[in-house]
Amino acid sequence: MCLSIPSKVVKISDDKTMCTVDTMGVQRDANLMMMDDEDIVIGDYVLLHIGFVMNKIDEDEALASIDTYREILEVLDEDDKKRAILEDDECEARGEQYAQEIKS
Amino acid sequence: MGLELKHLYDNFRDGDTIKAYAKIIAEDAKKLKKPINIMEVCGGHTHTIMKFGLPQLLPDNVNFIHGPGCPVCIMPKERIDHAYVLSMQPDVILVTLGDMIKVPGSNGSLQDARAKGSDVRFVYSPMECIKIAQENEDKKVIFFAIGFETTTPMTAVLVEQVIKQKISNIFFHINHVTVPEVMVELIDSRDVHVDSYNNQIDAFLGPSHVSVISGSKIYDKFPKDYGRPVVVTGFEPVDAMQGISMIVKQFVEERCEMEVQYKRVVNHDGNLKAQALIEKYFEKMSLFRWRGLGNVPDSGLKLREEYRDYDAEVLYKDVLPIAEIEDHKLCICGDILRGMAKPQECTIFGTACKPTTPIGSCMVSSEGACAAYYKYGNLI
């Protein structure tokens, strides 16, 4: 019910009450009456809910989140590598296990 | 890197990022002194949590309680009956959002009413009422308005346009409800019949789009006055996992704060123009009866007194039923909404009560906890 769709503004009507948005390739009209005149410009990313633009998406904040996720993945990737090396180093039975694997 | 539209979808649904947060949460949760129960207030979150199988990714000491944030689910049957009865009145076109189509009242659903010959129309946007009214000047168009703060300002825009354009054949049946009041009810109920102090809610995952409109300020009181942290969180699965991670960290670090994970659209003040529209046209009802929860003070809205000429509840008061209709006595939705039971603990879950034949509130729409468990149950 409360879901909304990120979209990009591609056109704004002269009276600034309506706009056309692109939602992953699909274009549709959206009402701008919940936004102040100067709030939205062409190229803005917005949230669309039941035919209305309900707010603008803050690009800097969106990019900051995406950066955070990338950093987390890099750190975890690094941790995983370290852990794999550590497990490898500490594996006492490797020689025996390896020999058995070869045999089998 | 510049932002592209696909980033707003792909990056917030990325499987590796979800798994990464699962690891972080698992590590942090080892430091928790006791298990924590997080209520996701909003049905949109319930849907995300179940659809992406997030409970499976969390350690045993981090649990979800599925909240009452589905406006279709919490609508008491007598109000569904209002819609049905209104649609049966002569020269009436009843217009509502698609979510209402299959919700059964005591006489049937609006789909059933349409099958019996009434003119019920399901629209994508409330503004479609204007075109319908212009094309049917001899009919009364009644907009049956539902939804939380997310959807209320859109109804307010329609009221404003009806007044400005002097459209004489559009009327409103208002069923808008508000989130903070029911959150208070869930943790601080004075209802003698229900011991809400015995609830299990330790923290809230705050709704996404209610907060876009109202701002995160509406949750300031929960950490301060009720000792419950709130993290306002987006609807995508990465958002949800990050929000959960932020809540777990608060407990580990012994903080109790209101934080915003969904910063790309939510700020403290919210959409002030939308709030002004709500304030202009609506006022609080002293009580709104929530299906499964009962009366919740100050949680419903109605048109202000000066706009009563547009209020279908006033105009049709002689034909609208007033008796309260309770759910089946075996239904435990009230306990589920308070976090005291899980859907599968209900004796009629999945047997007598299914999405096609819902008996309780949580099975009514796909965002209800029982419906989500029914649909995605193989994941848990």
Contact list in B for residue A4 (CB cut-off 8 A) is: 150, 209, 212
Helix orientation angle between B43-51 and B237-252, rounded to the nearest 10 degrees: 100
Decide if A65 and B20 are in contact by the 8 Å CB cutoff.
no
Give the gap in angstroms from C-alpha B33 to the nearest C-alpha of chain A. Answer: 25
Of A4, A50, A66, the CB nearest to B97: A50
| pLDDT at residue B192, as a whole number | 47
Q: Cα–Cα distance between B329 and B348 in angstroms, integer?
A: 10
Model confidence over B45-54: pLDDT tens digits? 998 998 999 9
Tokens at B233, concatenated: 């969180």
* Chain A residue with the nearest C-alpha to that of B72: A1
Percent with pLDDT over 70 in chain B: 96
DSSP letter for B320, please: S
**Per-residue model confidence (pLDDT) at position A77:** 80
Query: Taking CA atoms, what residue in B is nearest to A6?
Result: B8
**Chain segment B103-145, per-residue pLDDT in tens:** 888 888 999 999 999 999 999 999 999 999 999 999 999 999 9
Any CB–CB contact under 8 A between A96 and chain B?
Answer: no
Query: Which chain B residues are within 8 Å of A54, Cβ to Cβ?
Result: 150, 153, 209, 212-213, 271, 274
Q: What is residue A5's three-state secondary structure?
A: strand
**Chain A residue with minimum CA distance to B73:** A1
Q: Cα torsion at B272, B277, B279, B280 (round to 10°)?
A: 140
ipTM score of complex: 0.90
- Nearest CB among B128, B154, B264 relative to A52 is that of B154
Q: Is CATH 2.60.40.1180 correct for A5-57?
A: no
A interface mutation test: which of B4, B264, B272 has the most A CBs within 10 A? B264
SS3 B35: coil
Question: What mean pLDDT is predicted for residues B297-319?
Answer: 96
Minimum CA–CA partner of B234 in chain A = A3
> Taking CB atoms and an 8 Å limit, are B150 and A4 in contact across chains?
yes
H helices, E strands: number in chain A: 2, 5
- pTM here is 0.90
Which of A10, A13, A50, A71 is most worth mutating to test chain B (most B CB atoms within 10 A of its CB)?
A50
Q: What is the pLDDT, as a whole number, of residue B379?
A: 41
Cross-chain residue pair A2–B5, CB shorter than 8 Å? no
Q: What Rg do the C-alpha atoms of chain A give, in angstroms?
A: 26
What pLDDT is recorded for position A97? 61
Which CATH fold topology does B28-326 show?
Rossmann fold (3.40.50)
- The alpha carbon of residue B360 is apart from the nearest alpha carbon of chain A, in Å, by 18
In a mutational test of the B interface, the residue from A2, A5, A73 whose CB has the highest number of chain B CBs within 10 Å is: A2
Task: Decide if A59 touches B, using CB distance below 8 A.
Answer: yes
Distance from the B146 Cα atom to the nearest Cα atom in chain A, whole angstroms:
9
pLDDT of residue B359: 86
The strand ranges marked E within B107-243 are 119-123, 140-147, 170-176, 203-206, 230-232
Per-domain boundaries in chain A: 5-57, 60-103
The ranges of chain B annotated as CATH 3.40.50.11740 are 28-326
> Is B273 in contact with A35 (Cβ distance < 8 A)?
yes
